[in-house]
Amino acid sequence: MGQSIEVRCIAGALGAEIAGVDLSRDLDAATVAALREAWLEHLVLFFHDQPLSPAAFLAFARRFGDVIEYPFVKGLEDFPEIIPVLKLEHERVNFGGIWHSDTAYLAVPPMASMLIAREVPPAGGDTLFANMYLAYETLSPGMRRVLDGLGAVHSSAKADVSRTREDRTRDRARPDARTEYTATHPVVRVHPETGRRALYVNVAHTVRFEDMTEEESVPLLEYLFRHQVRPELTCRFRWRPGSIALWDNRCTQHNPVNDYHGHRRLMHRVTLAGDPPQGP
């Protein structure tokens, strides 16, 4: 791999830490290609000791794709594409604190998200990730056949997830944000780069199956929500200041653990443009 990059798996299901690269430098094409290859294989990449400035953080993100803005929360004053993900000492609810795939309620959900840790609590505040390829592949053949032909309706207004935005939208709401975003996507998503099938429903945003009522959809959706985050399908990442995570939003979910009440945690996030989800 370019520039002696070292890839260390952190769990059996997904996730790899990358060593041997300084992300503040102008990376050559071979190094970027090697990182992308590792990312597609491991679904989420982690880097430590990378205290990038906002400008350098954006420059690194742009080597992977086009940076887009988040629909609900304003970005930094000088860098509107960078969203501060902040939980203050007195707050009890954390931003996005539920299993989810980022903004699945958009017609074109993002390809990826990238997070850098600025301030972390002395303990806690880890992030869990889950492999949606394995979530699909570990279902029975009969269940896979049922799901392959289904669509699902996603909404930004599900109560549990909208509650995790309240503190940030109270003080940093975008003036052009809609009250609700909704979109319908295939339940089984074919990854445009790997060709693999991934389960594309999540407890934060998925409301019901297309052409079905919510009541009819609940039993199967609740089973899928439990199945897709079984421990053997996940990994857990512990942050340090200067740590970075880059995850593939097309085939993973994540959940920031809310176990650090009384402490401050500040992250900066950028989002990379994707394409409309396609089914089998």
Catalytically active residues, by annotation: 100, 102, 254, 269
SS3 per residue for the chain: CHHHCEEEECCCCCCEEEECCCCCCCCCHHHHHHHHHHHHHHCEEEECCCCCCHHHHHHHHHCCCCEECCCCECCCCCCCCCEEEEECCCCCCCCCCCCECCCCCCCCCCCEEEEEEEECCCCCCCEEEEEHHHHHHCCCHHHHHHHHCCEEEEECCCHHHHHCCHHHHHHHECCCCCCCCEEEEECEEECCCCCCEEECCCCCCEEEECCCCHHHHHHHHHHHHHHCCCHHHEEEECCCCCCEEEEECCCEEEEECCCCCCCCEEEEEEEECCCCCCCC
